[in-house]
Amino acid sequence: MKISPKMKKALNDQIALESSAANSYLAMASWCEVTGYQGAADFFYAQSDEEKTHMLKIVHYLNDIGAVATIPAIKAPVSSYKSLEGLIKTALKNEQAVTKAIHKMVEIAQKEKDHGTYAFLEWFVNEQVQEETKFETILQKFDLLGRDKLGINEIDKVLAADAAAPEPAA
């Protein structure tokens, strides 16, 4: 299967974006760990692994169709946060940026009648709906459970439970 140079560039850019998300979540996990939010740390370590699988999906797709993936250099992520809530807000923004990029690729695939890439991207479209909902739901918890020490501790437990839950098969 042959894809256009534009589609190939967009997919390679997405490898960089997913890789950067993996790195950013790793930094968030590390910050949570040293700050004493162990549940949130477990959650973000798992989230970082998930992003790596997203990146690999695209690497394999490009290589499988003979377009050849480019493995990018990644900038150092932000490593310090003012609060857990601020950190989750940043994570949601990251996901919204990823969603935008995926939707752009879908539009390119549609325009170019690249049905193979269009079908490949469907998984990512659905995944992004879940990812955004996940972070929005966590953010709501700050209103529901509070921002004091007890509230944050409860939110940390919610995140621990999420990290321990088995991931649906990708």
Q: Using the rule CB under 6 A, is 85 a contact of ligand FEO?
A: no
Q: Is 14 an interacting residue with respect to ligand FEO (CB under 6 A)?
A: no
Cβ proximity of 170 and 122 under 8 Å = no
Residues 120-149 that bind ligand FEO (CB under 6 A): 131
Q: Which of 98, 108, 121, 152 binds ligand FEO (CB under 6 A)?
A: 98
User: What is the distance between the alpha carbons of residues 120 and 92, in angstroms, rounded to a whole number?
Assistant: 24
10 contacts ligand FEO (rule: CB under 6 A): no
Q: CA-CA distance, 41 to 26, in Å (whole number)? A: 9
| Residue 147 Cβ vs ligand FEO, minimum distance, rounded to whole Å | 25
Residue-by-residue DSSP string for 31-56 = HHHHHT-HHHHHHHHHHHHHHHHHHH
Tell me how far apart the alpha carbons of residues 170 and 57 are, in angstroms, rounded to a whole number. 10
Selected from 95, 109, 121, 163, the binder of ligand FEO by CB under 6 A is 95
Q: Which residues bind ligand FEO (CB under 6 A)?
A: 18, 21, 51, 54, 95, 98, 131
